[in-house]
Amino acid sequence: MTRMLIVGPPGSGKGTQAERISDRLGIVAISTGDIFRANVKGETPLGLEAKKYIDAGDYVPDSVTNKMVRDRLQQDDVQQGFLLDGYPRTSAQVDELDDILTAEGEKLDVVLQLTADDEELVKRLLGRAKESGRSDDDEKVIRHRLNLYHTQTEVVVTRYAEQGILARVDGIGAIDEVTERIMTAIDAFAAK
């Protein structure tokens, strides 16, 4: 069974790579961003609450996010493993995820961190905004989100590095090249 996370700054390719890893390993990819966007589009109460935070470039509060992830990890399709994309983003969410997994007698196998230069990420995200019209991708909001990543989420990376389950992967380059780097990192952890 494979239980893993993919983390990295906004625009580092987490969503694209999560789909590819999911296909290769036959595990479900769980993106909190996709769940939030679906709720926003459907104008659900959660979606309306989440939209305020997403549009400002802020994280959706832990109380909402934790409940959503706990419920999602109880579903049958995660029994053979999962890849979480976009969670945990804070130290408190790491504690919550540990509690969720411990209650099921499970733990994470590997945490993949995609790395990329901030200026490259700004350029990528501005390009994506033009293509998709995402309201959360103007330069001011992008830089705010990158700052949040550096100040809040890097604590998550440090905690997993201390546990010895962090694999850093260069997220710059062709999509196929990045995928191969990730699969090499996963294979290295599987061999331990």
Task: Place 1 in a pLDDT band, splitting at 50, 70 and 90.
Answer: low
How does pLDDT run across 66-75, given as a tens digit for each residue? 877 887 888 8
Give dist(CA 76, CA 186) in Å, integer.
24
Q: Please report which confidence band the pLDDT of residue 141 belongs to, taking 50, 70 and 90 as the band edges.
A: confident
Closest CA to 138 of 147, 126, 121: 126
Tell me the DSSP string of 11-38: TSSHHHHHHHHHHHHT-EEEEHHHHHHH
- Given the residues 134, 143, 159, 168, select the one marked as catalytic: 134
Please indicate whether residue 134 is annotated as part of the active site.
yes
31-66 pLDDT, tens digit each? 887 777 777 888 888 788 888 887 887 878 888 788
Domain limits for position 182: 2-190
Distances in Å between the alpha carbon of 153 and those of 85, 103, 189?
13, 24, 22
Q: pLDDT band for 146, please (50, 70, 90 cuts).
A: very high
- Strand ranges inside the chain, DSSP E: 2-7, 28-31, 81-85, 110-115, 166-170
Contact of 86 with 114, CB cutoff 8 Å: no
Between these two residues, 5 and 46, which has the higher pLDDT value?
5
Buried b (16+ CB within 10 A) or exposed e, 125-147: beeebeeeeeebbeeebbebbbe
CATH code for the domain of 70? 3.40.50.300
Total structural domains within the chain = 1
Query: What pLDDT does residue 119 have?
Result: 94
- To the query of whether residue 14 is one of the catalytic residues in this protein, the response is yes
Q: What is the pLDDT of residues 98-127, one digit of tens each?
A: 999 999 899 999 999 999 999 999 998 898
pLDDT tens for each residue of 150-185: 988 888 999 999 999 999 999 999 999 999 999 999
Single-letter code of the amino acid located at 98: D
Is 11 known as a binding-site position? yes
What confidence score (pLDDT) does residue 72 get?
82
Residue 173 annotated as binding site: yes
Alpha-carbon span 171 to 144, nearest angstrom: 20
pLDDT at position 56 is 83
Per-residue pLDDT, averaged over 26-31, amounts to 93
Is 89 an active-site residue?
yes
- Is 164 annotated to bind ligand? no
Q: Global pTM?
A: 0.84
Identify the pLDDT of residue 20.
96
| Residues with Cβ within 8 Å of residue 109, at least 6 apart in sequence | 1, 2, 3, 4, 165, 189, 190
